[in-house]
Amino acid sequence: MSDLVQLEEQIMAEISAADDEPAIEAVRVAALGKKGSVSEKLKTLGAMSPEERQTMGPAINGLKSRIADAIAERKQALKAKAIEARLERERVDVTLPTRPSPVETGRIHPISQVIDEITAIFGDMGFSIAEGPDIETDYYNFTALNFPEGHPAREMHDTFFFAKDDKGEAKVLRTHTSPVQIRTMESQKPPIRIVIPGKTYRQDSDATHSPMFHQIEGLVIDKTANVANMKWVLTEFCKTFFEVPQVKMRFRPSFFPFTEPSLEVDIQCDRSGSEVKFGEGDDWMEILGCGMVHPNVLRAGGLDPDEYQGFAWGMGIDRIAMLKYGMPDLRAFFDADVRWLNHYGFRPLDMPTLFGGLSS
């Protein structure tokens, strides 16, 4: 009997010393497993006399029961301790600010925003959006727009030409969005009122020029379109785009192959401070080119210049974005610098509207 007392004290000490669930499981196996110390005691009952079994049987079974209860209790305590330690280790501080959502951190590129602003303005005037391919034929990019043979714009140093095809024709990356004017006249009967935003390509690169840049053109064709209509459209656009109540504009004679007469437009501005302010001051800044559509261009589009007339204009989207939002270097537009985009970009839900303010 003293052996059982000694064995119980030993196992109880091991149970108390177990400091995690694997350790208490090892104690259980060593005591109550198939070859455990208590199980081995139970195996000895078969060799005892009936009188001995009456005494030792209850004693050994009592030991087994007490050991099992002690192991279960210790195991439960260790399990609770493990859960507590895990909760402490994996604790989340709910007082920390949540991560901002993509809607708050994402930014719209200024070029995309300005295109949306421009289309919102002209859409309110009744214009629709027209698009065309970036890779154009020589006919649509030059010939149909009244560019004569030998014109500087046709030279390799200014235009990106592709290798000639089997027919001996060399396609180009369009140097302006004007080819869409011809394609629209070919496919749509007047009256025509369209604006054409898109990418254009020229071999030029510095702080204010890029080999790939964005341009927008407008075209109006009907039977009564005139210079006065064109001036009104452009004046209203500049007032709305630069968000000023009044603006003075100066129309100067110029030359473009696809318009006659051709005009360059200067807008009133103040350059005395760190930013250019429009609608005030005594300075002038060139902002766009325009004119009445040349009769040869109307003929190329399949229209009779004796019946129809129209006006067109074009401007660089990148340049007016720089003027409006104070960005000093065009090259930064294409650097993919997240810091620059976070500074100059627009929040995704800040959609430009005329009633809400274009840039508010």
Burial class (CB in 10 A: 0-12, 13-18, 19+), 198: buried
Other beta carbons within 10 Å of 178? 28
Q: 356 is written with which tokens?
A: 């809400």
DSSP state of 353: B
Burial class (CB in 10 A: 0-12, 13-18, 19+), 172: buried
Mean of all residue pLDDT scores within the chain: 84
Q: 136 is written with which tokens?
A: 């154009």
pLDDT of 308 > 70? The answer is yes
pLDDT computed for residue 54 by the predictor: 76
Contact 185, 301 (CB under 8 A): yes
pLDDT of 360 > 60? The answer is no
pLDDT of 343 > 80? The answer is yes
pLDDT computed for residue 159 by the predictor: 82
* Between 57 and 266, the higher pLDDT residue: 266
Mean pLDDT of 20-38: 81
Query: pLDDT-derived band of residue 228, with 50, 70 and 90 as boundaries?
Result: very high
Query: pLDDT-derived band of residue 194, with 50, 70 and 90 as boundaries?
Result: very high
Query: pLDDT-derived band of residue 88, with 50, 70 and 90 as boundaries?
Result: confident
pLDDT computed for residue 1 by the predictor: 59
Per-residue DSSP letters for 198-250? EEEE-S--BTTB-SEEEEEEEEEEESS--HHHHHHHHHHHHHHHTT-S---EE
Sequence letter at residue 82: A
Mean pLDDT of 340-350: 82
* CA–CA distances in Å: residue 348 to residues 10, 112, 116, 324, 341: 72, 11, 12, 19, 12
What HEC string does 89-117 produce? Answer: HCCCCCCCCCCCCHHHHCCECHHHHHHHH
Instruction: Specify the 3-state DSSP secondary structure of 291.
Output: strand
pLDDT computed for residue 10 by the predictor: 81
Query: pLDDT-derived band of residue 153, with 50, 70 and 90 as boundaries?
Result: low
Sequence letter at residue 23: A
Q: 359 is written with which tokens?
A: 């840039």
* CA–CA distances in Å: residue 223 to residues 56, 125, 158: 121, 18, 36
Give the pairing type, strands 192-201 and 212-222: antiparallel
pLDDT of 216 > 90? The answer is yes
Sequence letter at residue 109: H
Other beta carbons within 10 Å of 47? 8
CA distance 298 to 129: 20
Give the pairing type, strands 212-222 and 277-278: unpaired
- Provide, rounded to the nearest whole percent, the portion of the chain with pLDDT above 70: 93
pLDDT of 157 > 60? The answer is no
Please identify which residue in the block is written with the tokens 């929040």.
347
Instruction: Specify the 3-state DSSP secondary structure of 351.
Output: coil
Contact 221, 308 (CB under 8 A): yes
Closest C-alpha to 198, from 214, 183, 209: 214
